[in-house]
Amino acid sequence: KPAPETEKPKETVKPKPTPTPKPTIAPQAPKQSIKPKPEPKPEPTKEPEAPQSSRSYNAAFSWGHMIANDESKRYRYGANGPDFYDCSSFTQAAYAKSGINLPRTSSQQYAAAPTKVPLSQLRAGDLVFSSSNGGSSFYHVAIYLGGGQVLHARNPASGISVTSLGYINNLHPYAGRY
C-alpha cells in the first residue's frame, strides 16, 4: 500500500526585502546670478536759482491797482490807511490781501524778507528798496510787478501809482522775496 501522501509543505515565499530608501536631496533652485542694479542717470545740472515762492500775489496786485486808481486814496508819510498810506503801510496792506504779513516799516520789511535776491533775478511780487546808506536802513519800498514796473505809494505830490523801476532813486542791489 502506498504511503499516504503527505501534504507537501507549502512553499513559503520569503518576502523580498524592501530596499531602504536612499535619502533624497531636495532639488535646489537654480542659482540666480545677481544682476547689478543700473546706475541712475545723473540729472542735468541746473544753475542754482533763488527759491521760488509758492505764494500768489494776485490779491495784493489787484488791491494795489485798485488803490492806485482811486483818487480818494493818497500818500501821507506815517499814515496807515485806509485813505492815506506811506510806502511801507501800502506794501503791508497790499500783501495782507494775499495773506502775507509784513512788518510796518521799509527797513523792517527788508530785514524780515526770508530771501534776498539780486535785482537781476527779480520776480513779480518781490519788494524793491531805496537806501542812501548802503542798506543800513531803507527809506522807500515798492512792489515789483514784472516787466520793469513797480507799484508804490510815492510821495504827497505823486500819490500811489505804477512807475518804471528806473523811477526809484538809490535802488538797493537786493530785493526782498516773501
Query: Which residues form the catalytic set?
Result: 87, 140, 152
State the CB neighbour count (10 A cutoff) for residue 72: 8
Integer Cα distance of 154 and 159 in angstroms: 6
Distance (Å) of CA 88 to CA 33, 61, 96, 108, 123: 69, 15, 12, 9, 19
Contact between 89 and 74 under an 8 Å Cβ cutoff? The reply is no
